[in-house]
Amino acid sequence: MSKIVNSKSTILAIVAVVAVALVAGTSSSVAKPDKVDGVNVPFGRIPQKVKDNRYPRTYYPNTEKVTKDEMRITALGTGMPNQSPSNVAACFLVELGNGESFLFDMGTGSTDRLAGLEPDYSKLDKVFISHLHTDHAGDLAALWVGGWINGRYTPLHVYGPSGSSPELGTKVHVDHIREAWAWDVTSRAGTLPNAGGEIVAHEFDFSKTAVIYNKNGVKVTSFPAIHIRDGSVSFRLDWKGLSFVFGGDSVPNKWFAKEAKGADVVVHECFFTPEQWMRIAGFPYKQAYWVTSVIHTPPQGFGKLMSMVKPRLAVAYHYWNHRDLELEIYDGVRETYDGPLAMADDLTVINLRKDHIEVREVTFNHDSWPQGTSKEWDTAPRGEPATGLMADWLKKGELKGLNPPPKQPIE
């Protein structure tokens, strides 16, 4: 046994020496991303253009360009407020061929899936929130701070609905996030770009159908949704003749039926039946019916709504993707809808072109890390590193000389 251990030790030592040699022989800029068509990608990763709609069966992040007339939609989270390891909460990422990215909802756990894509965080500065439940807005703070550290050097803009009173609206929600994380954000000041530490709320009237974003040829429209209380909405994004509709939580309603009519990709919740919810959650029938069919949309209702809307592709989400449940949900949808359908799970990816729709799955490295900050992030304005935030008695408790001194000038 000792010979085996020694052999392993020798192999590890050789590997360590080779690794050191490789690092020593590389450029000091290896942690910096490459820039392709104005978008940062991980060092050494050069995305290619997919021609003639010949998409590989699996999408590996940062290997394919989004072409100038294309939209890529990735389901980052498709689950519930009570998450499972296979389904984090609601979030859809839309990437456009003009280099812009849009996030729709930011439910709890979705930043984990986002990190696996190794994205250009400087592009992830816009989030559209359908309503203020944790499974739709719970990771806003994580994106705000994590995105700032990982390369965003501009403010995070949060577009969200008003409520029945100011304290129930998006602005107050964002104000509270800012206040709750003051210890965190103020302690990072100076080390990180100033503007990246800002979070800005754009609150709009939930009761109106209105364009709430209109820049660079991209239009986002909000319209009312019916979910528990005042203050829920759905969204439609239009760009270069392509359309994406995102429903957060809602029962079928007239606004969705109108605004989603004939759209390319239409995402809407497809919740459990009362009987399923009784079986998996233990609720009595009265409460199970209220949850599944009064404040949410069960499979048969989803199917009827899509039969009215007639999208190029209907996308169902907001359920646990356990195989026994998903097959039952699929059968329920097919009772009332026979059109094109995708049952989304976390990391379903949809490429949308005028002549083609491709539905696949993302595969990523679960040990991946951020692509590194860009030159723009490095040179963005910032103040001095935060000082004066610690009491003298606490500072005097440091054991001097244990941490090594700097090897390069830091003044």
pLDDT band at 30 (very low <50, low <70, confident <90, very high): low
* Region 38-64 average pLDDT: 95
Q: What percent of the chain has pLDDT over 70?
A: 93
Position 24 scores a pLDDT of: 42
CB proximity list for 288: less than 8 A, separation 6 or greater: 274, 275, 277, 278, 281
Confidence check: pLDDT of 20 > 90: no
Confidence check: pLDDT of 135 > 60: yes
For residue 274, give both structure tokens: 């009362």
pLDDT band at 324 (very low <50, low <70, confident <90, very high): confident
Q: What is the pTM of this model?
A: 0.91
Mean pLDDT score across all residues of the chain: 92
Position 321 scores a pLDDT of: 85
What gap in Å lies between CA 158 and CA 369, rounded to an integer?
25
**Packing angle, helices 274-281 and 323-334, rounded to 10:** 170
pLDDT band at 10 (very low <50, low <70, confident <90, very high): very low
Confidence check: pLDDT of 216 > 80: yes
CB 201 within 8 A of CB 171: yes
What gap in Å lies between CA 19 and CA 281, rounded to an integer?
50
pLDDT band at 200 (very low <50, low <70, confident <90, very high): very high
Confidence check: pLDDT of 28 > 70: no
Confidence check: pLDDT of 56 > 50: yes
Confidence check: pLDDT of 2 > 80: no
Position 5 scores a pLDDT of: 42
Q: Determine the distance from the C-alpha atom of residue 118 to the mean position of all C-alpha atoms in its chain, rounded to a whole number.
A: 12
* Region 160-172 average pLDDT: 98
For 266-316, the pLDDT digits (tens) are: 999 999 999 999 998 999 999 999 999 999 999 999 999 999 999 999 999
**What CATH fold (topology level) applies to the domain 45-362?**
Metallo-beta-lactamase; Chain A (3.60.15)
Confidence check: pLDDT of 11 > 70: no
pLDDT band at 403 (very low <50, low <70, confident <90, very high): very high
pLDDT band at 3 (very low <50, low <70, confident <90, very high): very low
Please report, to the nearest 10 degrees, the dihedral formed by the alpha carbons of residues 103, 106, 107, 110 taken in order: 70
Q: Give the residue, 325 or 347, on which the prediction is more confident.
A: 347
Position 192 scores a pLDDT of: 96
pLDDT band at 79 (very low <50, low <70, confident <90, very high): very high
